[in-house]
Structure 1
Amino acid sequence: MSVTLHRAPVAQIPPGTLYRILWLRVSVFVVEQDAAYPEIDGRDIEAGAELMWAEESSGDVLATLRVLREPQNTRIGRVATAAHARGRGLAADLLRAAIGVLDAEAPGIPILLDAQAHLADWYGRFGFVVWGAPFAEDGIPHVPMRRTGPGEPIAKESSS
């Protein structure tokens, strides 16, 4: 089946698709990673927030991420891929697309993310560098990361 990348603010996402996106995030972050926390945190509906997702022609949401526009930077988060879809490069495709959008909209504005520590090298392939002290979120080691803008390398190979 073919996979299509989409992006939209929450208010413009069809209800069934939004349900599948949120189901995927809860399945990965709350259930799979055993982290009981408020996954639906209110930030999805902030001004300028968008969700991006990879959807199969069947309607199955395979991967997703969230883009937030903050006063001094932009932020990518909630990067998740369904267990059965991992290894297909879908998260990498979404991340490259998000970086492309953000770099085009606001060149030179930093893009921030909080990476699970074991994924720091993966994010590094897209031009992100560790930018602060490690911390634990819901018992999972994380590192803050930053990408300063256009001209930085973005991984070409697809991997998630």
Structure 2
Amino acid sequence: MTWVLKDFQELDTAELYTILAERVNVFIVEQECPYPEIDGKDDEAFHLFYKKDGQIAAYARLFRAGDYYEEASIGRILVKEDYRKQTLGRELVDKAISVLRDEFNETKIKIQAQNYLREFYSSFGFEPVTKVYLEDDIPHVDMILEL
């Protein structure tokens, strides 16, 4: 049971395979949303994940300012179904924010949140900066956190 932060080159083949499989399971299969999950940005990201019982239970992709958006960003946030409703999602977002703030000295974080999670992200201080829009037929809203 440990949090791991690696850049793309540090990921071993098994970790990368598991990360991509979990992202496909959550974002494409569970949400019934066919879209290009492998978007060519993983090699620029930092990969934050929580390993438990030999599995990746939670995951997020982190970018420094300028690598994805003008601001730093957190994306592909997921908790594997077996580990949901155990506060792991809250721990994941807390850890992602602290990494970007404390290790990378970022001052602003942008997320593309699914609208139904707006209250969850607001509880961390994220504020909406766009109206709700459809991204792959799912209502989203862009949100910013000033650190």
Q: Does TM, scored on the shorter chain, surpass 0.5?
A: yes
Tell me the TM-score normalised to structure 2 length. Answer: 0.92
1:43 aligned partner: 41
Distance 1:113 1:28 in 2: 18
Matches within 5 A, 1:136-155: 136-149=134-147
1:76 aligned partner: 74
Matched, 1:61 2:36: no
Q: Structure 2: which 5+ runs fail to align? A: none
Q: Percent identity?
A: 35
Letter in 2 for 1:111: I
Query: Residue 132 of structure 1 aligns to a residue in which SS?
Result: coil
Query: Residue 36 of structure 1 aligns to a residue in which SS?
Result: coil
Letter in 1 for 2:97: I
Distance 2:36 2:10 in 1: 23
1:14 aligned partner: 12
Contact 1:64 1:91 in 2 (8 A): no
1:119 Cα deviation (Å)?
Answer: 0.2
1:82 Cα deviation (Å)?
Answer: 1.0
Distance 1:127 1:87 in 2: 21
Distance 2:54 2:17 in 1: 11
2:119 aligned partner: 121
Matched, 1:98 2:108: no
- The number of aligned residues is 143
1:70 Cα deviation (Å)?
Answer: 3.0
Distance 2:38 2:65 in 1: 18
Distance 1:7 1:101 in 2: 9
Distance 2:34 2:47 in 1: 22
1:65 Cα deviation (Å)?
Answer: 0.5
Query: Residue 32 of structure 2 aligns to a residue in which SS?
Result: coil
Letter in 2 for 1:75: S
Q: Structure 1: which 5+ runs fail to align? A: 150-160
Q: CA RMSD in A?
A: 1.1
Query: Residue 16 of structure 1 aligns to a residue in which SS?
Result: helix
Structure 1 runs of 4+ aligned residues shifted over 6 Å read none
Match of 1:26 among 24, 43, 50: 24
